[in-house]
A = this chain, B = another copy of it.
Amino acid sequence: VWDVFVLGVGICAFGKRADRWVEELGAEAVEAAVADSGIDRRRIEAAFCGHAFAGRVAGQRVLALAGISGIPTINVENACTSGATALHLACKAVASGEHEIALALGMDQMTSGLVEATPSDFEGALGRTLPVKYALRARRYMSAFDLTVEDLADVTVKNRALGALNPAAYFRQAVTREEVLASRMIAEPLTLFQCCAPSDGAAAVLVGSRTAAAAAGRTAVRVLASVLCSGRYQSARDGGPSGDDELTIRTSRMAYEQAGCGPEDIQIAEVHDAFSIGEILAMDNLGFCATGEAAQLVRERATWPSGRLPVNTSGGLLSRGHPLGATGAAQVVEIVYQLRGEAGARQLPRRPTLGLTHCTGGALPVVGTGSCCVHIFAA
């Protein structure tokens, strides 16, 4: 029986926070999650900390600042999926009956901390960096399906408009389609405003058993599904989707099965818009539309708060910024706020009851691997 509940969530303001240690950002998020849950921090039995750049035993350093010590603490890394991976392990630890209450934390500091290259990333060293990879995916999608540069820009327009309503977001100014298209070209067709920014931030999620949730005495959000996958090697000759596409398709289908629902049931989603095209691809791959029809959702404004499937109401990675390890946890914070009706100016007109988070990380084009994590939550 998969019986896991979100007891509390916390997030610190994202952005340039070079005046703080990354541990302080993490502790700020943990304190917020503990306060949100109303639970005595001494009842937390284990902690999982997702980060990509915070150095050795970073989770232990955060917990020491947050007045939590002695509990099993595990630092996890899965590139942009690190924070979601931490939540996945925390959910497993509760679901297996091992722990009553577990903490998942995601964090990173990229504007002043050390952000080193992976030694064996010869592709990146040769210029095939992430913006370039996403640009190629955009080009391919545009040649195969109906997608224009204006549609891509409109993803940013929506996310920046929503980010302006999110106190935790890095970028809080709305932009117009014209401004997006006129911003500096990074990797054609992606302009600067269509690329997420390296930034600093942290988010935390406390999960617990049904008993712990009942005792907490506030609306607990249930975790219906938590699925983590890595990519499957697939050469171009095998046909079908490959890389990030295959990975998101497979992971989300497993999550829908675990949750006992389908993509048509999802009422709100936070997806991996590291670049504007990322949101388009995610909508396709998560099954929110037929393959190749994501641009239609953009044109119909279906993904705005007033639409049939609001996406990235937090402002997404494009507004919040993308401290690698923090993102997967920050997405969950937004969905939990929305399901509890506590999203402030961003709250959907009709409070959603079923939400999804999706992130992918480190997809390696040559070997077709990387990681993807999908969670589904119910109010």
Contact = CB atoms under 8 A, between A and B. Distances in A.
Contact of A60 (B65, B114, B362): B362
B76 A74 contact: yes
A57 B69 contact: no
22 contacts: A21-B119, A54-B119, A55-B117, A55-B118, A55-B120, A56-B118, A56-B361, A57-B364, A60-B231, A60-B362, A64-B368, A64-B369, A69-B231, A69-B233, A70-B233, A71-B229, A73-B230, A73-B371, A74-B85, A89-B89, A92-B98, A114-B116
B89 A57 contact: no
Nearest to A70: B232
Contact of A230 (B21, B54, B63, B76): B63
A35 to B, nearest CB: 21
Contacts of A61: 120, 364, 367, 369
A55 B121 contact: yes
Nearest to A72: B228
A307 interface: no
Q: What secondary structure prevails in chain A residues at the interface with B?
A: loop
Copies assembled = 2
Which interface residue of A54, A92, A118, A370 has the most chain B CB atoms within 10 A?
Answer: A118
B78 A229 contact: no
A96 interface: yes
A70 B72 CA distance: 28
A292 interface: no
A287 to B, nearest CB: 19
A52 interface: yes
A126 to B, nearest CB: 16
B63 A52 contact: no
B362 A56 contact: yes
Nearest to A246: B70
A134 B215 CA distance: 45
A296 to B, nearest CB: 31
The 10 A-B residue pairs with the shortest CB-CB distance in the complex, in nearest-first order? A55-B118, A57-B362, A70-B232, A64-B367, A96-B96, A69-B233, A73-B230, A75-B77, A60-B369, A56-B79
How many of chain A's residues touch chain B, expressed as a range? 35 or more
A167 interface: no
A22 interface: yes
A23 interface: yes
Contacts of A263: none
A113 interface: yes
A92 B96 contact: yes
Interface in A105-149: 109, 113-114, 116-121
B55 A371 contact: no
Nearest to A69: B233
A336 to B, nearest CB: 23
A228 to B, nearest CB: 5
A232 B42 CA distance: 12
A2 to B, nearest CB: 11
A91 to B, nearest CB: 12
Nearest to A247: B70
B69 A367 contact: yes
Contacts of A367: 60-61, 64-65, 69
A370 B70 contact: no
Contacts of A57: 77-79, 361-362, 364, 369-371
Contacts of A76: 74-77
Given A63-B230, A120-B61, A75 B78 contact: yes
A258 to B, nearest CB: 12
A364 B22 contact: no
